Structures are given as C-alpha cells and as structure tokens.
Structure 1
Amino acid sequence: MNNRNMNWDTIKLFLALHREGSARAVANEHLLSPSTVTRRISELEDALDTKLFNRLPSGFKLTESGQELLLVALRMEADAYEIERKLLANSGIMEGAIRLTIPNHIIVKPLMESLSLFSREHSQVDLEIIPSYTPFDLNKGEADIALRIMLKGSSPPDELIGTKLVDVYSAVYCSKRYAQTQDLGNADESNWIGWDDESRYPDWVLSSSFPHLPIKHHINDPFMQLYAAKAHMGLVMMPCFMCDPEIDLVRIPPHEKWHRFDLWMLSHPDLRDTLRFREFRRFLREQFEENLGVWRGDNYCR
C-alpha cells in the first residue's frame, strides 16, 4: 500500500466527495481542479486495491468498500479536529483567527458596531464572519464560535458550551401606507406575509391580534419578508431588532410583542481557555447586555 496516498489531505477529499457527491463542488471547496480530485481518489483506490465510489449520473456514491473506509475516515477526522483544538487551547496570546458563524439576519448595525470595536481593540485578531442559516458543526472545526437563534426554552447541544445572550422579541409590522390604506379588519382587503406554512391560518397567526387575516404570500427569508412588508405586500411577524429601525414600517399594535426566541453563543469546550476566544466570548456577553433593548424590542418609538 502506498502511504503517500493515505495521508490526511487525501482522506479529506474522500470525505468531501462522499458529502458533496460532485468532484466539481469538492474542487471549488479545496481550490483544486475537478480532474485533480478524481485523480487523487483514483490513486487512493489503486493504493487500497478496491473501488471506493460508483460514478453515477447523479454523482459519486460509496461502494461497500467505500462505506468501510468511511468509518475509518470519520475517526481520523474526529482525531484531527481534536488535535487542532488542543493546539489552539495552548495559545495564550491575543492573535490569530476567530471564525464566527451568524445567521444572516442577525448581522444588524449594533452587532457589526460591536465587532468593529473588538477588532479595533485587538488588532492582531482576525475576525472571519461566516453568515449562514445552516448550523455549522463546531465539533468538526467548521467554526470556532456560533451565534444561533433558538426557540424560547430550547437548550444547546450537551457537548458544546452554551451561553444565552438575550431574549429575542418579535412583533407585527407593516408599511405605514398599508396601515393607512388597508382595512386590517377585512380579510378580503388585508393579508399576512407567511413563511413556509402549509396552513393559511397557522398558530402564530391565530395567536396574533389579526387571527382572521389569511396568509397570501410565502417568503421563507427574513430579509425578503422585510422588503416585502416595505413594498406594502402585507403584515409580517418579524424580530423587533430587524424592523424597529425601519422608519417605513410600523408596529401594530405598537405595544404588543412576543418573546419567541433566544439568542445563544456556542463554542467547543476545548477552546474554553484559549485567550482570544475567552476574551471574545466575554466581550460579546458585555455588548449584548449593553444593547438589551435592541433585541427585546424596547426601543420602538413611532
């Protein structure tokens, strides 16, 4: 067996091809050409004297031998990430990278101003901000720290360090023109902008002040919902931190809001004592405490 073909870099390509099913997708991720990816996999197959993938029109699918190697490769991956975290944990200096993953709609002005302040105070730390609605796997080193919106009362995974930063409140909003020109008591004249709800009257509609209005539009993205509301397409149930600063939107009724979600900060236990991560977590806790009103919807003043 050729040990050169069994190194960790080759195994990473094997795992990536299993997960993506496409040599082109793996090539883009690893800054290689698709032909290089397939050549490296073929070399691995030659070294093991077995076929690892079936090449199908739908993509690469593991053979039975590939499934056997997958078990070994996943253990190698877990060991590699543990080694990386242990090395990071020994770093006692305020320099290096922090990979922070955040849901796209959380990246609002108060948070960006806080991150800018941290960057100015710690110029040797490089912040990599990864906006994504897909939860990143901290156990696999896909990010160092994650901010995640979770349903009120939920708990983070047991294997991660979780800190609840703030209660997140939501309210009902529409454009000023919509509120002035549409009869919100008339289901033939007014409507909700919904998410991916199957019912025209889901629970969150029935529990609102407008349970008689149907969902007419389905837009499963917070920013698109916000712009749809500004374009007078209907009412939205949205986080206060997104809609309160929008002067074109009004909250109806203005005094009503709901604690529907919590914002959590998650990190891996192995990074608990690494100086830059420890200081960054402390900094975020303090910043969210200073800006509680933004996330709780206390700053609305129309």
Structure 2
Amino acid sequence: MHMTRREAFGLAAALGTLAAAPSARAAAPKLGTQAPAWYRFTIGDFEATVVSDGALPLGRPADGFPRAPAEEMQTILREAYLPADGVVLEQNALVVNTGRQLILIDTGMGDSMGEASRMFGPTTGKLRENLRAAGFQPEQFDMILLTHAHCDHAWGLVDANGQRVFPNAQVALAESDLRYWTDDNNKRGPAFMVPFIDGAKKNLEAYRDRLVMIRDGAEVVPGITAIAAPGHTVGHHCYAVSSGGMTVVNTGDLAHHQAIMLRRPSWEFAYDTDPAQSARTRVRMLDRLATDRHHVLSYHFPWPGIGHVARAGEGYAWMPAGMNLSGVG
C-alpha cells in the first residue's frame, strides 16, 4: 500500500496522541509516606534492632549551638552537604534481644505530654508504631534503659493518660538523673526546664516500684554495661552492648550532630545541663571510641546511626557503617 508523506505524518501524529493519552489519565496522587523505620543486625549472639522515633527538627543551627562561631558552623554544614539554615536530628532507639531478656534503650518522645510532646514538631513520637512494625509488642520488654531523662528519650514510657506503655518492664537510669529531673526546684533557667521536669516526673512516677539505679562500669543486665558520660545531664550514661567478642557502644546524647559536634567537640550545646563538663566528656569519650574502634550506635546521627568514630585533624569524623551488616564488632 502506498502512503503519501502527508498521510504518514498524520498517522504518526495520531499514534503519538494515543500513546500519550493513557499516561495523562493514569496520573496518581503523591503519597508522602515512608515505610516503617527499623533495621536489624547482630552483636555476637545478641539480635539487635534499631527502631526510629522519627526525625527531630532542632531549628536554626545558632539555636542549638549559641556560642559557636556562626561562619565556621555554616562552613562545616556546607562541607557536609547539609542545609545551613536548619538542623534535623534522627532518633535511633536500640532494641537488644539477649536470648533471655528483651531490652530497649530509650523510648523516644512519645505522646505523654500532649502539646509539649510536639515541641519539636509532628515528626517525632513514632517509636511505638515502628516497634510493632519490627515485630515487637510493648508487653514483651523486660527492661528499659535510659541514657538520660530528657523528653526525647524518656517521654515514651507512658501514654497520654499516664499509663505504662511497657507494662512488664523495669526502667534503669542513673540515680542522679532521677533526682535532678524530678525536682521542682530545678525549674529555673531556660524555658524548657519546666516541661522537661514535668514530663520526667509523669513518665518516671508510673514506674516508681520498678526503677533500677545504674552504676558506672557495672552490668545492668548480662552483656550491657553502663558508662558514665555526664554533662549533657548530670547522670547521662552510654551503654556498651557486648557479646561473642563484639561490642557496640550506644552513645545516647554524647554528640548530637555528626558533623558539628565531631568536628568541633568542644563546642557547647544549648540543652546541656553543664556545657563545659559535657564538652570534656565528649572529647574523652570520642577519643576512647576512636582508639577502641568499636561500632557506635548514636541516637541522633543519620539513620540508622551505626558507624565508627575516627580521628580527623583537631577533631573527629563519623564513618557510617554499611547497611548490609549481619553482625558488627
């Protein structure tokens, strides 16, 4: 069959229209959702799972690090390919199944304090749903270990009605933190001190008959040892999780930001109870972590918060671990 040039052009145009039409009719709405955030690996004979409580927007860099040289901080953020107008932290809680006990380190922001539970925005408070997505039920937990009693670590202990979220668990923390954050006499200084203390009192009071006081260098449960790291709070502790010759150190809030606070570990952080002591502790512990070469689980570093601390110039650098870990150590 002979087709003229005009007929060929007409047919091509018609076919192009037909091919484009289905894609226009099939346009779908944007979902704007993510998969549940949990990541499982092993530490020797222990099974470990990092579970997210959601992102925590800290605000302008100057709000979190008020005494840091603004221009230098901007440079550090740019060199790390991070926005210079806002700092966002992660919240990486750690579940450890030792084979005998199920342990959770820190509980996230929760919803126990109503509007105050959203002081950093609506993206926090996801731990409970992510625990269930990872296969855990709250009643299965035997022990909750708190690195300290701040809102984003302890306010997930109870629900909005003040009922225990983890009905069968003991709660372990430093006695000095327990005393400090349940004392109304400490409601002074920064405005956040009032909700922080009210929230700690509500969450810890519900477990008053099952509190366990931790001690520096002592095992809280077999395989998990407390390490005093004061300054961020008076009783802030890290936890070393060890099994089969492998160790992962959960550093809690030793350092909040993987670029700013490792590059400049002596810089003060706005939410530190004793900023000078916190800086000294941070330098001491970062040096220890770099020397020992243990894996680190950092509560606020980029998801899932697992990596190493390495010396870099006058400070340190964060070396994220690969996401294909079957075991670490």
Q: TM-score, normalised by structure 1?
A: 0.25
RCO higher in 1 or 2 (8 Å CA, sep ≥ 6)? 1
Name whichever structure is richer in helix by fraction: 1
